[in-house]
Chain A
């Protein structure tokens, strides 16, 4: 029907891909790293080391027994100087293992390519690798790749859309690490028994599209296809991506696996390919460092746990006093309160904004233009949430399906009155969650 099958709405948020042509530079190991014990959605890890211990590169330093968890590994060799609790970017507190590096980068024993014989072996290897969803969600990959309805999975989508402005780290992965992406895909598809593989790439990254097309042709792989998409925001959101590629609607709270689809970030996939070759767990991350307060914007391969300040020093330091520093892109990233925050696994960018770039115009009255609704990928009505939230009307919020909101920020972006609609949606969702089923 005319109304049903239309493409999902999206917005023009600008690209700002300033670093797309800058090859990744490897950052030397800083003097100190602070590795968070809470690098995934789910249970945080308990430190396996204590103050004074010597740790090696790739050594497991944190693990948890809970189901939804992955271990954390040391990205450096050195000695543990502190195990402390610090406020994190989300506003809560996490335990951090602080390691003073010795610069030797000695690799721990037993780091070798995993031997995988069967599906459970693959899942176990994925857990040991410490991999989480690197697109930003930090969902443990081994849980994602181990769905209850394994038999139903037929499609594996690798998400290289990278619709967030500024970020180019996935783009660089696609150019510099394409073979690992394909190897990772083949491995995942083998163990998922998925027939169709897609690499979704926005059409503003034509070089990446061409690169994959060439490699797939050279290697004679026909079950993986490159899927170019319009470069609009938020085409890279999981539920949007599934709709665009398979035409299946993915409801909030429903795992894509229920629709027979698994979506994985391109950098995660590249890591799978790499891990199966050398067995080195996830200890470093390619990130985009950009923003107008950074002297040399570039892509950096930084060790997990490196503090923002150190990464900035590597990029030539600040040009002026940073007012806002973001972990992630400007649409969904989190503003951190201090540049002593360390890099965590799911960061794909660090943006430092000056006063001018961090400026957001003052809010004015809603003029009912409907742009927030037109821009919402899920046809939600953010203005109605704002009214209902003001009245703390949980019933109305539920009627309006506020829980469908994925907080992409499109509504706030397009609002000519500059109302913080996405923020109100977050508060509304919290309100609905708090009220539970009582209303």
Chain B
């Protein structure tokens, strides 16, 4: 056999020998792309300062992760781009006038405290951006609830620069001062940087679903729950001057619920992996969002609701394990056999 030159040092490994080209980095890039429409809409409505806010959040988040990795002698994980996504999502949920230094504190909390200290990507128990936002809300309540009018509202003769969000108006003074549903849809209303333009969010969300980055289960069930909950509520407790359908649509379109449903609640790490679990999780998100909006002193509850369901996720995962293929059948047969044995 010496007449042939064999290749005796081939690489051996366990199958499969080919893998998908989709990796974490690509996934995060898709999410960043999906956030672009909302970011652009935010900058159009709220001006260049919001662009500065957005970019500084993104850059500082990456910096935080890089610094943490260096300090702790860990592998550099900035290249997976998840910190950029966290920074962008955080910025888009902030009021457009928030001082940048406050936003950077939020980034620090999100990246270092919520994500890195728990062990980095995949190990955090709550959505970093959501926790960052809540920490800011509780620490700088007045800045975090100062809402700027959009450029178009101001051009149309609104004298003041700041005013309440639609949900704030509803809590304070009923439906009288509410913007029209069209304004809500295109985002011509006070609110967080990237949460106001529903159309932009839907474009981004549809892109993620089309690219199979997220499954439509969580956003669809979340939004349906919000709609159904408010429908039932307003049928029982009618709002003066508006029917239940209008109020339900209003709740769907205002606040951060659509943005939260597509970009925050769908965070892989902190949402269940089983389909049944995802449905329960999304119903929980919708339920608690509406409970906080309607029965608590905060006008908006999406971030608290998502945080709460984030923490419930391990529990949901534990109790929603799909029946494994074939196993249920076998269990049934074994039960039957055991019964027959006991009887005979």
Chain A residues near B (Cβ < 8 Å): 3, 8, 13-14, 32, 165, 239, 243, 249-252, 254, 309, 321-326, 330-340, 353, 358, 360-361, 364-370, 373-374, 377-381, 383, 401, 404, 407, 409, 412-418, 420, 422-423, 426
Contact = CB atoms under 8 A, between A and B. Distances in A.
B10 A325 contact: yes
Contact of A415 (B18, B19, B120, B321): B19
B324 A165 contact: no
B15 A331 contact: yes
Interface in B1-54: 1, 4, 6-20, 22-24, 26-27
Contacts of A335: 10-13, 15, 17
Contact of A409 (B9, B12, B15, B273): B15
A377 to B, nearest CB: 7
Interface residues of B, number: 46
A322 B10 contact: yes
Given A251-B326, A338-B9, 14 more contacts: A249-B325, A252-B326, A322-B10, A324-B17, A326-B17, A338-B6, A338-B8, A339-B10, A353-B17, A370-B268, A373-B274, A383-B273, A404-B326, A416-B22
B18 A13 contact: yes
B162 interface: no
Interface residue SS majority, chain B: loop
Nearest to A310: B4
23 contacts: A8-B325, A250-B326, A252-B326, A326-B17, A330-B15, A330-B17, A335-B15, A339-B6, A360-B13, A367-B82, A367-B268, A374-B215, A378-B324, A379-B323, A404-B326, A407-B15, A409-B15, A409-B16, A412-B15, A415-B19, A416-B27, A417-B122, A422-B15
B14 A337 contact: no
Nearest to B22: A416
B20 A378 contact: no
A149 B203 CA distance: 58
B327 interface: yes
B273 A361 contact: no
B337 interface: no
Contacts of A407: 15
A413 B321 CA distance: 22
A383 B122 CA distance: 12
Contact of A418 (B19, B120, B330): B19
Nearest to A82: B1
Contact of B327 (A326, A333, A365, A404): A404
